[in-house]
Amino acid sequence: MALTWKDVIHFSVKGNPVPDNRVEKSEKEWKELLTPEQFRITRKKGTEAPHSGALCSVHDAGKYECICCGTSLFDSSIKFESGTGWPSFTQPIKENAIKYSKDTSFGMTRVEVLCNTCDAHLGHVFPDGPPPSGLRYCINSESMKMTKENDNG
């Protein structure tokens, strides 16, 4: 069943689905595992410049996984061109893959999306996506790695 904007708001206000597992590391451990840019975006809630991410123009079949913990987040079949300059998806790979949090930074109210396994900042979700869900998950390329369908690892 597809998530809707109502579901997203419910999760951000009432609590998120329980993840399949949790990955927790210290800031020092994350810094050792990630590039400085990956760390800035995923652990410090940064944003990459629009149209700069390596995954913006990738349209191969496969899975998009959290760069921090490897959790599957999105499937290529629900990726679409939003024209925003960031990879965009209509749904997470499964309901409990994503954590939702109200974000009031920069003088606006948005819904931040994080990896539900390790709390990595991924981007934001908006209610202006294509049917049937109407959702647009706007995700930083630096927050993910893409595993092509024919890859073995």
On the question of pLDDT at 153 being above 60, the answer is no
Query: Residue 82 maps to which CATH number?
Result: 2.170.150.20
Name the percent of the chain lying above pLDDT 90: 87
Active site residues: 138
- Contact present, 87 and 150 (Cβ < 8 Å): no
Name the percent of the chain lying above pLDDT 70: 97
What one-character-per-residue DSSP string does 25-73 give? --HHHHHHHS-HHHHHHHTT---PPTT--TTTT---SEEEEETTT--EE
Handedness of CA 102, 13, 140, 58 (dihedral sign): negative
Judge whether 153 lies within some domain.
Answer: no
| Cα–Cα distances in angstroms (integers) from residue 80 to residues 52, 101, 106, 133, in the given order | 17, 23, 26, 13
pLDDT at 134: 95
Per residue in 25-68, pLDDT (tens digit) is: 999 999 999 999 999 999 999 999 999 999 998 889 999 999 99
At 106, the pLDDT band (50, 70, 90 cuts) reads: confident
Pairing of strands 72-75, 62-66: antiparallel
Rg (CA), the chain: 14
Judge whether 11 lies within some domain.
Answer: yes
Cα 116–119–122 angle (5° rounding)? 90
Judge whether 106 lies within some domain.
Answer: yes
The overall average pLDDT reported for the chain is 94
At 104, the pLDDT band (50, 70, 90 cuts) reads: confident
pLDDT at 107: 84
Looking up tokens 């959702």 gives 135
> Would the pTM of this model clear 0.95, i.e. be above it?
no
Range of the domain at 83: 5-16+25-148
Span of 51-60, 72-81, 139-148 with lowest mean pLDDT: 51-60
Looking up tokens 């024209």 gives 83
Judge whether 135 lies within some domain.
Answer: yes
Judge whether 53 lies within some domain.
Answer: yes
Distance of alpha carbon 116 from alpha carbon 21, whole angstroms = 9
Per residue in 83-96, pLDDT (tens digit) is: 999 999 999 999 99
What's the total number of domains in the chain?
1
